[in-house]
């Protein structure tokens, strides 16, 4: 019998980090206000009390320093889990991540491994001020040497954070902050999937919607609404933005003949751009309509009172469904 427990995504990440720290004394957790406070979203709450200040500690307000520290610790055999407090704060660390963290293993011909996890709460929907609602995942997916993932459920959050910590490569772990309080069943005994495998969360036959992170719930809402009109939408949670499990998407599109890719980020030079291009190449003779993309508009993320107009919702997805079915 499997051991199941209901947790929020935030608590599932906390439980996954705790399990990794129990299993491996080389796992260290640090970032701005993550120790006594437990982080802005309380994701690391309680870890300081259990593991002490040598393994759970606060960092200065210097994102480049946080990642530089993580790189140095990895060189000395530790497995650092570094938190960037908000998505929009990751840019001061961009050079350290893309120029050093992503490349050191290759540059040293494998002498240095970089088992670093960079946790990044990302996306909108929480009514935050500027720089607190970004979706910067495509920047990092574009960078060779980085793994880029995002859970959409509590079960995935629990297992994916452990798999990320166990990885020998650096992992950008994007956490959908507006879904932190979403609860779900967590299987504490075994992971259902590997870190980079896509997963069909709803089966259908008319259209495939591929998405990840915070937009999985939105895609499922759209599918539920469409079902009332007899339209069966298949929803795929790709879970990993680098590498992408294209085989899973291809299998679905060969059955449905139509694909919509959606995420909160803008669609120009995005994860959806890459998926659309690859599926057009691999499924050319199976597609009944062009691949459509639904994302945030190509403008800076707006003020909180306008974010609901910016974020893709079920209605925008259903409008895309109508378009692909019209071909």
Query: Residue 299: inside a domain, yes or no?
Result: yes
Q: What's the rounded mean pLDDT across residues 67-81?
A: 97
CB-CB contact of 155 with 192 (8 Å): yes
Query: Residue 17: inside a domain, yes or no?
Result: yes
Answer yes or no: do 10 and 144 share one domain.
Answer: yes
**Domain that residue 210 falls in:** 199-325
Burial class of 326 by CB neighbour count within 10 A (0 to 12, 13 to 18, 19+): exposed
Looking at the structure of the chain, the number of domains it has is: 2
Answer yes or no: do 169 and 42 share one domain.
Answer: yes
Q: What's the rounded mean pLDDT across residues 97-118?
A: 96
Integer Cα distance of 64 and 240 in angstroms: 25
CB-CB contact of 288 with 257 (8 Å): yes
CATH number at residue 208: 3.40.50.920
Answer yes or no: do 9 and 158 share one domain.
Answer: yes
Q: Is the pLDDT of residue 108 over 70?
A: yes
Q: What's the rounded mean pLDDT across residues 124-147?
A: 96
Answer yes or no: do 115 and 75 share one domain.
Answer: yes
Q: Is the pLDDT of residue 2 over 80?
A: no
pLDDT of residue 104: 97
Answer yes or no: do 169 and 41 share one domain.
Answer: yes
> What are 32-55's pLDDT values in tens digits?
999 999 999 999 999 999 999 999
Q: What is the mean pLDDT of the chain?
A: 97
Q: Which of 187, 213, 247 is the last residue of a domain?
A: 187
Answer yes or no: do 67 and 181 share one domain.
Answer: yes
Query: Residue 270: inside a domain, yes or no?
Result: yes
Query: Kind of pairing, strands 147-149 and 183-187?
Result: unpaired
Query: Residue 193: inside a domain, yes or no?
Result: no
CATH number at residue 134: 3.40.50.970
Answer yes or no: do 183 and 205 share one domain.
Answer: no
Answer yes or no: do 289 and 208 share one domain.
Answer: yes
> What are 252-285's pLDDT values in tens digits?
999 999 999 999 999 999 999 999 999 999 999 9
Q: Is the pLDDT of residue 211 over 70?
A: yes
> What are 163-188's pLDDT values in tens digits?
999 999 999 999 999 999 999 999 99
Query: Residue 192: inside a domain, yes or no?
Result: no
Note the pTM of the prediction, 2 decimals: 0.97
% pLDDT > 90, the chain: 98
Please state the φ and ψ torsions of residue 47, each to the nearest 5 degrees.
Answer: -70, -35
Query: Residue 194: inside a domain, yes or no?
Result: no
Query: Residue 120: inside a domain, yes or no?
Result: yes
Q: What's the rounded mean pLDDT across residues 208-225?
A: 98
Q: Is the pLDDT of residue 1 over 90?
A: no
- Give 52's contacts (C-beta < 8 A, 6+ positions apart): none
> What are 224-256's pLDDT values in tens digits?
999 999 999 999 999 999 999 999 999 999 999
For residue 192, name the pLDDT band (cuts at 50, 70, 90).
confident
Give the DSSP per-residue string, 255-271.
Answer: HHS-EEEEEEEESTTSH
Answer yes or no: do 180 and 283 share one domain.
Answer: no
Answer yes or no: do 65 and 96 share one domain.
Answer: yes
Q: Which of 187, 214, 246 is the last residue of a domain?
A: 187
- 165, 75, 147: which is closest to 112 by C-alpha? 75
Answer yes or no: do 156 and 236 share one domain.
Answer: no
Give whole-number Cα distances, 269 to 154, 176, 294, in Å: 29, 21, 13
> What are 277-306's pLDDT values in tens digits?
999 999 999 999 999 999 999 999 999 999
Q: Which of 187, 216, 231 is the last residue of a domain?
A: 187
Catalytic residue IDs: 132
Query: Residue 71: inside a domain, yes or no?
Result: yes
Answer yes or no: do 149 and 14 share one domain.
Answer: yes
For residue 311, name the pLDDT band (cuts at 50, 70, 90).
very high
């Amino acid at each position: 019998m499997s051991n199941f427990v209901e947790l929020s995504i935030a608590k599932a990440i906390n439980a996954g980090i705790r399990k990794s720290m129990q299993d491996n004394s080389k796992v260290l957790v640090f970032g701005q206000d993550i120790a006594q406070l437990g982080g802005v979203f309380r994701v690391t709450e309680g870890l300081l009390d259990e593991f002490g200040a040598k393994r759970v500690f606060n960092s200065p307000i210097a994102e480049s320093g946080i990642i530089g520290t993580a790189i140095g610790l990895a060189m000395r055999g530790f497995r650092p889990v570094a938190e960037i407090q908000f998505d929009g704060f990751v840019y001061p660390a961009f050079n350290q991540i893309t120029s050093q963290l992503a490349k050191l293993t290759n540059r040293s011909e494998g002498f240095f491994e970089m088992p670093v996890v960079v946790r990044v709460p990302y996306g909108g929907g929480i009514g935050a001020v500027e720089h607190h609602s970004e979706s910067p995942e495509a920047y990092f997916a574009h960078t060779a040497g980085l793994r880029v993932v995002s859970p959409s459920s509590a079960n995935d959050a629990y297992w994916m954070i452990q798999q990320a910590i166990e990885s020998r490569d650096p992992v950008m772990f994007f956490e959908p902050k507006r879904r932190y309080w979403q609860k779900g069943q967590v299987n504490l005994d075994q992971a259902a999937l590997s870190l980079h495998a896509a997963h069909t969360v709803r089966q259908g036959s008319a259209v495939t919607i591929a998405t990840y992170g915070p937009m999985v719930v939105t895609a499922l809402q759209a599918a539920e609404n469409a079902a009332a009109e007899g339209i069966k939408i298949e929803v795929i949670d790709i879970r990993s933005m680098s590498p992408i499990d294209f085989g899973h998407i291809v299998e679905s599109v060969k059955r449905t003949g139509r694909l919509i890719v959606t995420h909160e980020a803008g669609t120009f030079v995005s994860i959806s751009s890459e998926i659309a291009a690859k599926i057009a190449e691999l499924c050319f003779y199976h597609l009944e309509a062009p691949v459509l993309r639904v994302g945030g508009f190509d403008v800076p993320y707006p003020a909180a009172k306008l974010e609901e107009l910016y974020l893709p919702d079920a209605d925008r997805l259903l409008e895309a469904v109508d378009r692909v079915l019209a071909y």
